[in-house]
Amino acid sequence: MMAQYIEIKAANADCLLFYRMGDFYELFFEDAEIASRALGIVLTKRGKHAGADIPMCGVPIDRADDYLSRLIALGHRVAVCEQTEDPAEAKRRGPKSVVRREVVRLVTPGTITEDRLLDPGRANLLLAIGRRKVSDAAFAYGLAALDISTGRFSLSEVPGAELPGAIARHDPREIVLSEAIHADPALARLWQDVAAPVTPLAQAELEPASAERRIKAQFGVSTLEGFGDFSRAEIAAAGAALLYVERTQIGARPPLSPPFREASGATLSIDAATRANLELTRTLSGERTGSLLDAIDRTVSASGARLLAEHLAGPLMNLRAITRRQEAVAFLAEDHALRRRLRDALGRAPDLARALSRLGLGRGGPRDLAAIRDGLDAAGSIAADVSGIGTLPEGLARLAGQLSGADAELVVTLRAALADELPLNRRDGNFVRAGYHPEIDEARLLGQDSRKVIAALQARYAEETGCRTLRIKHNNVLGYYIEVPQAVGEACLKGLMRETFVHRQTMVDAMRFTSVELGELETKISGASDRTLALESAVFEDLAARVLAQTATVAQVGEALAGLDVAASHAELAVELSWTRPHVDDGLAFVIEGGRHPVVEAALRRSGEPFIANDCDLSGEGRGRIRLITGPNMGGKSTFLRQNALIAVLAQMGAFVPAARAHLGLVDRLFSRVGAADDLARGQSTFMVEMVETAAILNQASRRSLVILDEIGRGTATFDGLSIAWACLEHLHEVNACRALFATHFHELTALSQRLARLDNATLKVAEHRGEVVFLHEVVPGVAERSYGLQVARLAGLPAGVIARAGAILKGLEKAERDRPGRPRIDDLPLFASLSPPPPPAPPAEDGLGEMLDALDPDAMTPREALEALYRLKRERAAKA
């Protein structure tokens, strides 16, 4: 057996091998050590290999999913190796022959389909990457995003510079690519940084011809033209994705939708750092709670939640499409009764896409069939409901039209065939409704009758032996047996009784027997239950085949339900929180009146505090405005900056926005940078990360972009930081000419508004009350006088002594700054005046104390002499002052 294990393990060296032995999956050698550590299960040993003990641990098959999901979450891949013949057959080949086993599936993070392993509200994307050369030094990258748990399959191509942003948008669970892309030194850092495991595939398997062949075979077509015009990079990516699916699913072919091509520039481009910083789908610490997605999610179905996340990850650039989504939201926001009915029905609809995929892969169970039944049923009732409404907006009408595509007969059949209570696995039987299949009913009756006969037999034997505690029981080793107490058992071994009862086992206080009659009955019962199972299994196959014959329509119904759920979710949110429909056009307007931050507002609401709404206008004719925001720490600068970026994202995903009124010209790219946190793991300093990200903005932002910069330049010496922030502002104003919000504590920058025509200053209002600062969180035109850093430090609990000392130092610094003749002013800077030579350094103040101190030698002094010297110094200082 070990030889077989070693052979199979060698063929799956990069996976943990779950090796089936009876009711357990066993792991051996290093796999056992890894799994026992990861899962906290006992490590034992079994036999020896090369003179050493073989470490072993095992997981029971009925709990395997739990263990699998934990291993997958830790980034492991698991090869599941099953027994592919009955142990009895192996025995027939010879006493020493080993049961045949094969790996039936590789379980990897990007290719799971089981409900218990999947997160219902999150897509489970496998992202495959291919590329093509576009010039000597540059590549274009093809991305194939495939979710085998739902069949979603999309292709797109991006220039090399946008690859990290595109990966972040897809948020894949696993990435596959060619060895060449994986080994490209220019991308090494990217693979290191992405959260998902990255699996390289051998170059030889990824030839363009085989990629194309694979796609054609998957979809049963002879040409790809019908799907769209794909680039070589996209085809390479799709080929790699399908190869990986083949390899992990081993023979099973998931039902995939035909690949749809996402046109380049179809979505608002948001790079990875901006996504993270704006906490769109998860917070900086990786949680969903506290993200924008969490704050806006009012969906009632898992497929709706997944679609909402997809929309949020890729806000649109197409005005028509945005308007279509907005119209649907507006309609549902108005019609409260319809929205309520719709959400009720949607909440009852199970996850069609995932059930369909499991059935297609041959991994489905009776509950998946029921999911199809109930999903189609809900779709039918929604379709009937909306058909009674006069004119629906285009977006809603389209979704409603998709709902009724499936064959009504299918639901009728599934209703008739499936029982009320359904087991998870079909091998558990009892899922076909009584009356659906006469032969099943007959076989079941036979089984039930035999059980009655057993009960009668037990009564008769009890009478014959005079033992009222005689029982007929069943276990897996003996099958049916008669159990009596020891004393009665002894009697059964003698006389006439010997002819009826055949001894099987003696226990501590009981004896077990069988009889000819019981043996016959047992054969009949097991025959009946085997037959019922076989018949039920055939019914299952038939129903699954009927469902799969309508894969495309069922998938479409699933998509429509998800689309309706998202529209209704936005509408619900808009009504609940008084959000409004933004006006989006192709100009360069950016007018927000009474804007709010959805996440901060929700947090404040929970603690009963109000959120102060703020306006923001960055509109420009041909060139965007820049607003420079100074203000106290804790005043609300970052909140204001982010809320405007989030409003742009929400508007372009077709949702309503948290503002009294909003008018936005389409944004093509969104950038958001904060003085970055340390990134020691990547070996980059805070400042380096900040500068790399700022460089990306200055190089890429167009007039149509929206840029949010929060405290750029704070990670270095004051004047270095100030000069960098200054120059960045000028560049944004003159070269990028984009709409921008720039928050800073460098109050010197506010003077720039006199020179840069489209830059204006805003500040966060504060009030002082008995020496305490009160943040009003109100954005008003103007310049902050102070940063109130010390007040905030006091609120944070810095010791009073430190605060007092800092106050004294601050006073000194401010005085020195006021008195210093050579302090830089705006006119001194190179853009506005010729560079004047730096003023000569002021001579140090002469008070003689320094020399006195230098003359002292503490090591040569007695304590008394030291004390006297100290008094002398103090006297001298007082005299000089």
Asked if 637 touches ligand ATP (CB under 6 A), the answer is yes
The nearer residue to ligand ATP, 350 or 595, going by C-beta atoms, is 595
What three-state secondary structure class fits 601?
helix
The nearer residue to ligand ATP, 9 or 777, going by C-beta atoms, is 777
- Please indicate if the annotation marks 635 as binding a ligand: yes
Asked if 791 touches ligand ATP (CB under 6 A), the answer is no
Minimum gap (Å) between residue 659 Cβ and ligand ATP: 12
- Please indicate if the annotation marks 761 as binding a ligand: no
What does the alpha-carbon distance between residue 711 and residue 277 come to, in Å, rounded to a whole number? Answer: 13
Number of residues that bind ligand ATP (CB under 6 A): 14
The nearer residue to ligand ATP, 168 or 741, going by C-beta atoms, is 741
Asked if 631 touches ligand ATP (CB under 6 A), the answer is yes
Residues 6 or more apart whose CB falls under 8 angstroms from that of 336 comprise 575
- Please indicate if the annotation marks 60 as binding a ligand: no
Minimum gap (Å) between residue 409 Cβ and ligand ATP: 57
Minimum gap (Å) between residue 779 Cβ and ligand ATP: 8
Minimum gap (Å) between residue 638 Cβ and ligand ATP: 3
- Please indicate if the annotation marks 497 as binding a ligand: no
Assess contact for 90 and 60: CB atoms under 8 A: no
Residues 173-202 that bind ligand ATP (CB under 6 A): none
Work out which of 19, 25, 481, 611 binds ligand ATP, going by CB under 6 A: 611
Interface with ligand ATP by CB under 6 A: which range of 37-45, 163-171, 221-229, 606-614? Answer: 606-614
Asked if 633 touches ligand ATP (CB under 6 A), the answer is yes
CA dihedral 519, 525, 531, 533 (to 10 degrees): -120
Interface with ligand ATP by CB under 6 A: which range of 69-77, 422-430, 635-643, 755-763? Answer: 635-643
The nearer residue to ligand ATP, 378 or 662, going by C-beta atoms, is 662
The nearer residue to ligand ATP, 36 or 643, going by C-beta atoms, is 643
What does the alpha-carbon distance between residue 127 and residue 164 come to, in Å, rounded to a whole number? Answer: 13
DSSP tag of 712: T
Asked if 749 touches ligand ATP (CB under 6 A), the answer is no
Residue 324 to residues 212, 280, 563, 654, Cα–Cα distance (Å): 35, 23, 12, 8
Residues 6 or more apart whose CB falls under 8 angstroms from that of 90 comprise 97, 98, 99, 100
- Please indicate if the annotation marks 638 as binding a ligand: yes
Minimum gap (Å) between residue 789 Cβ and ligand ATP: 8
The nearer residue to ligand ATP, 604 or 856, going by C-beta atoms, is 604
Residues 769-788 that bind ligand ATP (CB under 6 A): 777
Residue 234 to residues 130, 133, 157, 386, 687, Cα–Cα distance (Å): 6, 13, 6, 39, 37
Q: Which of 270, 317, 315 is nearest to 165 (CA)?
A: 270
Interface with ligand ATP by CB under 6 A: which range of 254-262, 582-590, 609-617, 797-805? Answer: 609-617
Minimum gap (Å) between residue 610 Cβ and ligand ATP: 7
Assess contact for 227 and 259: CB atoms under 8 A: yes
- Please indicate if the annotation marks 850 as binding a ligand: no
Residues 6 or more apart whose CB falls under 8 angstroms from that of 167 comprise 127, 143, 175, 190, 194, 272
Asked if 638 touches ligand ATP (CB under 6 A), the answer is yes
Minimum gap (Å) between residue 706 Cβ and ligand ATP: 18
| Backbone φ, ψ for residue 829 (5° rounding) | -85, 150
Q: Which two tokens stand for residue 764?
A: 């966060």
The nearer residue to ligand ATP, 447 or 598, going by C-beta atoms, is 598
The 563-602 contact track toward ligand ATP, x by CB under 6 A, reads -------------------------------------x--
Assess contact for 128 and 241: CB atoms under 8 A: yes
Interface with ligand ATP by CB under 6 A: which range of 284-292, 406-414, 607-615, 811-819? Answer: 607-615
* E-assigned strand segments in 216-299: 260-261, 269-270
The nearer residue to ligand ATP, 53 or 678, going by C-beta atoms, is 678
What does the alpha-carbon distance between residue 50 and residue 44 come to, in Å, rounded to a whole number? Answer: 17
Minimum gap (Å) between residue 611 Cβ and ligand ATP: 4
What does the alpha-carbon distance between residue 663 and residue 590 come to, in Å, rounded to a whole number? Answer: 6
Residues 6 or more apart whose CB falls under 8 angstroms from that of 355 comprise 364, 367, 368, 369, 371, 372, 375
Asked if 447 touches ligand ATP (CB under 6 A), the answer is no
Expressed in angstroms, the distance from the first to the final Cα of the chain is 94
Work out which of 375, 636, 654, 658 binds ligand ATP, going by CB under 6 A: 636
Query: Pairing between strand 479-485 and 471-475?
Result: antiparallel
Q: Which residues pair with 80 in a beta bridge?
A: 18, 105
Minimum gap (Å) between residue 600 Cβ and ligand ATP: 5
Interface with ligand ATP (CB under 6 A):
600, 604, 611-612, 614, 631, 633-639, 777
Q: What are the binding residues for ATP?
A: 631-638
